[in-house]
Amino acid sequence: MLGASFALFLVGAAALSLERGTLRTALLAVALTALAGIAVAQTVRRLRKNRD
């Protein structure tokens, strides 16, 4: 998970250096959505672990 998060961060950072347009917007949206999804998955996993 940490490697995937770092890779998504790098994609987002690289997208910021692109000119404004559809590609930049799409890359940023995908990176942020995926990072949010990873955060939710880790939170749910931790909550389930603590419940048991």
> How many Å apart are CA 13 and CA 28, to the nearest integer?
8
32, 23 in Cβ contact below 8 A? no
Domain ranges, residue 14: 2-51
Question: How many folded domains does the chain comprise?
Answer: 1
- Nearest CA among 4, 3, 11, 6 for reference residue 31: 11
The reported pLDDT for the residue numbered 24 is 96
Residue pLDDT tens, the chain, 52 long: 889 999 999 999 999 999 999 999 999 999 999 999 999 999 999 999 988 7
What does the block give as tokens for 11? 């994609």
| Whole-model pTM over 0.85 | no
